[in-house]
């Protein structure tokens, strides 16, 4: 009996479409009369709080308390400065939490928040990322523990000596995760204040429970975090966020359960965003297309609250067979909120720059962009010489080119047109590490022949509980209806959060191990239970390079008069190990590709340089793709057997869809109209200004 590999419909689908599924802000049975918190955000870009006049707010009906740094409880420190809510008078960025109002109703709390009078000592802010900022520095390491700089060979000299060179600068703006469900938390203490229950919109129940225990001076295990249903996160809910701290702190002060549903506008302030980047990329090659040097230097911003530096250049270490390589990361701490994870942090902006630069090199060589990439395919990981568990880049490009009709493409820009519209096609490569983290899971036999499978995984809309049930059914050798899957609760066996495209690999391994052990000696007795831990299994794995790969193809239409860009066709072909649920996999991959569409032509967080904060802090002004923006889009994959990953043979699929997709679109725009756009998003005015006037004849 095999359930893995079949397009099972989401197990929780009916609950969601009928409204029965409860999200964090929707719980009412929380152990007491629910109060509500509303924050007061700083209205200055930088400085300090001198005083908070609470009198008018406290006099309003229903108001229970107004917290500020002068009366807030002291917190522990789990290592994230953004979680030190109301612990000092410092204002590090506009929108930072400077007071919290708690009232009987949400409306009363909102009314009272507007009555809080905050006196500031303001200073001029520094919130612009620029190339020659005097505060630029090299961090000790970058996100996920990667090396800040890696130099192999003599890339500077090799670049200078090569006959064909490109030296280009690319920029990407701040981008916002914008999940459908804004962040939200409800916190409730036990009567004796010994235990804490939190309903949180999070990707990491176990991680949030640990952080809250440290913040509020509790023993591990005294905090339970429930995240049964989560309406998206894209990284912004991958760690404990200030909303959880606000709710717990407020509940501890007023002695009642407190709900803090974060307003959409506030999600642009303190939950994180993708850092803007400035990238310089130098590529060189011999006349036959053999790459000789690759240099990728990236600059990004962090905050004065906490250091967070993306691994923007790191992906360039693993992609092409180049002997002389330099990849560097630099950062500058500004008066801004701390950047955080956003779908494929590092790889997404970094591969945009690299894959556009490869396209430029192909044109400089007079070579087909796919041919150039395949000519420089490595046989081992260029970064460290490790053998790949699998690398099927040629197959994804070959299959994509065949399906997309690449062979019929005239490489000259500005040639193909339909009426007043120029048509272009572009291509880019995708890659993302196939990561796995230690996890635990429990399988318990029921008396009716079914099995309970429990793990503190988080289903953030990806279909994780469905895939885990499929994995469990196969490991047990039973039909899917014999499995009861339990996720989204930190009281279940500890598991890593949903992030890094590692959820299914990490959780599925633990589930497989527990289920196989349960039935190893035949049908288990009622009540028999196995707790599995994969930490030792991961330690014993051979050192191999584990990566997923893909090829993006895009067709765009550019209006010669207005510069409007329509992405008419997108095709993604991926190599992601064994696909465990084709229905859910296609959804995830297409979702990532649409993410790339938004990155290419829409998304930009615009900073108020004088007053601080983002000017377009809502979904009316911060544009993301909608159905009307998505025309012909398809995601497929090649069959791949890779038994050196995990027991399922799967690779993560949550992020590779948006790695390289923006580059394919930008390359297609160049092919359409001859304008090389190096600064995202692609703007109408840029194309109109730079387009050859002859194309409008």
Which two structure tokens, joined as six digits, stand for 591? 């979702």
State the DSSP H helix or E strand holding residue 564, giving kind and residue range, or none if neither. none
Strands (E), 93-195: 97-103, 117-122, 141-142, 146-147, 150-152, 164-172, 184-189
Distance, in Å, from the CA atom of 626 to the CA atom of 285, rounded to the nearest integer, reads 40
CA distances for 530 relative to 467, 496, 521, angstroms: 20, 19, 12
163 neighbors 286 (Cβ within 8 angstroms): yes
**What is the crossing angle of helices 661-673 and 582-601, to 10°?**
50
User: At residue 185, what are phi and psi to the nearest 5 degrees?
Assistant: -145, 140
User: At residue 315, what are phi and psi to the nearest 5 degrees?
Assistant: -60, -30
The DSSP bridge partners found for residue 554 are 426, 570
Distance, in Å, from the CA atom of 592 to the CA atom of 630, rounded to the nearest integer, reads 12
The DSSP bridge partners found for residue 285 are 164, 291
99 neighbors 66 (Cβ within 8 angstroms): yes
Alpha helices in 205-346 (DSSP H): 205-215, 242-254
175, 181, 399, 655: the active-site residue:
655
Alpha-carbon dihedral sign for residues 5, 498, 230, 631: negative
DSSP code string of 242-281: HHHHHHHHHHHHHTS-EEEEPPGGGGGTSS--BPPEEEEE
DSSP code string of 404-433: HTGGG---STT--EETTEEEEEEEEEEEEE
The DSSP bridge partners found for residue 647 are none
Q: How many helices (H) and strands (E) does the chain have?
A: 15, 26
Q: Is 214 a catalytic residue?
A: no
Distance, in Å, from the CA atom of 635 to the CA atom of 591, rounded to the nearest integer, reads 10
Q: Report, in this order, helix, strand and coil percent for the chain, each rounded to 5.
A: 30, 25, 45
Distance, in Å, from the CA atom of 685 to the CA atom of 669, rounded to the nearest integer, reads 14
Question: Active-site residue numbers?
Answer: 655
């Amino acid at each position: 009996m095999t359930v893995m590999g079949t397009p099972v419909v989401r197990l929780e689908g009916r609950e969601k479409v009928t409204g029965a599924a409860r999200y964090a802000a929707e719980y009412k049975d929380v152990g007491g009369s629910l109060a509500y918190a509303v924050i007061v955000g700083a209205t200055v870009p930088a400085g300090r709080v001198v005083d908070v006049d609470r009198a008018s707010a406290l006099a309003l009906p229903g108001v229970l308390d107004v917290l500020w740094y002068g009366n807030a409880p002291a917190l522990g420190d789990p290592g994230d400065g953004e979680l030190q809510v109301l612990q000092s008078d410092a204002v590090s960025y506009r929108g930072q939490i400077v007071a919290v109002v708690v009232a009987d109703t949400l409306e009363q709390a909102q009314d009272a928040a507007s009555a809080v009078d905050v006196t500031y000592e303001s200073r001029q802010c520094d919130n612009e990322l620029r190339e020659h900022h005097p505060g630029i520095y090299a961090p000790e390491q970058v996100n996920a523990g990667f090396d800040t700089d890696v130099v192999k060979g003599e890339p500077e000299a090799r670049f200078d000596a090569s006959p064909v060179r490109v030296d280009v600068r690319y920029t990407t703006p701040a981008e916002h995760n914008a999940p459908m469900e804004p962040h939200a938390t409800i916190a409730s203490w036990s009567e004796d204040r010994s235990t804490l229950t939190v309903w949180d919109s999070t990707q990491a129940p176990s991680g949030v429970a640990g952080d809250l225990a440290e913040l509020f001076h509790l023993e591990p295990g005294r905090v339970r975090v429930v995240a049964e249903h989560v309406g998206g996160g894209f990284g912004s809910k991958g760690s404990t966020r200030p909303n959880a701290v606000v709710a717990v702190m407020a509940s501890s002060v007023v002695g009642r359960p407190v709900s803090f549903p974060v307003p959409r506008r506030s999600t642009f302030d303190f939950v994180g965003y993708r850092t803007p980047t400035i990238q310089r990329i130098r590529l060189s090659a011999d006349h036959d297309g053999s790459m000789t040097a690759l240099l990728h230097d990236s600059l990004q911003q962090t905050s004065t609250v906490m250091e967070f530096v993306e691994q923007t250049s790191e992906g360039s270490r693993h992609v092409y067979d180049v002997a002389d390589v330099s990849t560097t990361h630099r950062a500058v701490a500004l008066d801004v909120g701390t950047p955080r994870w956003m779908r494929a942090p590092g790889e997404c902006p970094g591969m945009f720059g690299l894959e556009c630069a490869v396209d430029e090199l192909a044109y400089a060589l007079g070579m087909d962009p796919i041919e150039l990439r395949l000519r420089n395919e490595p046989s081992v990981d260029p970064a460290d010489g490790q053998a790949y568990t699998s690398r099927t880049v040629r197959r994804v490009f070959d299959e994509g080119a065949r399906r997309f009709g690449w062979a019929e493409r005239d490489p000259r820009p500005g040639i193909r047109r339909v009426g007043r519209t120029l048509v272009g096609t572009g291509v880019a490569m995708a890659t993302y590490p196939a990561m796995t983290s230690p996890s635990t899971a429990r399988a318990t036999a029921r008396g009716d022949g079914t099995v309970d499978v429990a793990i503190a995984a988080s289903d953030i809309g990806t279909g994780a509980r469905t895939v885990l049930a499929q994995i469990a059914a196969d490991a047990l050798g039973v039909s899917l209806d014999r499995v009861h899957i339990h996720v989204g609760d930190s009281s279940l066996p500890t598991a890593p959060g949903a992030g890094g495209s590692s959820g299914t690999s990490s959780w599925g391994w633990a589930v497989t191990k527990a289920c196989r052990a349960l039935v190893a000696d035949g049908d288990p007795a009622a009540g028999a239970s196995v707790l599995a831990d994969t930490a030792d299994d991961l330690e014993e794995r051979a050192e191999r390079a584990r990566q997923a790969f893909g090829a993006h193809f895009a067709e765009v239409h550019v209006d010669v008069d207005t510069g409007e860009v329509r992405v008419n066709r997108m095709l993604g072909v991926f190599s992601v190990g064994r696909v465990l649920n084709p229905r859910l996999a296609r959804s995830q991959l297409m979702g990532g590709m649409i993410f790339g569409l938004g990155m290419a032509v829409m998304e930009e967080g615009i900073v108020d340089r004088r007053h601080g904060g983002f000017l377009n802090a809502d979904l009316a002004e911060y544009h993301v793709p909608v159905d009307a923006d998505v025309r012909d889009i398809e995601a497929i994959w090649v069959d791949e057997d890779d038994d050196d990953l995990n027991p399922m043979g799967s690779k993560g699929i949550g992020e590779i869809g948006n790695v390289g997709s923006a580059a394919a679109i930008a390359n297609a725009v160049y092919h359409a109209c001859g304008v090389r756009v190096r600064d995202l998003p692609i703007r109408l005015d840029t194309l109109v200004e730079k387009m050859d006037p002859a194309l409008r004849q």
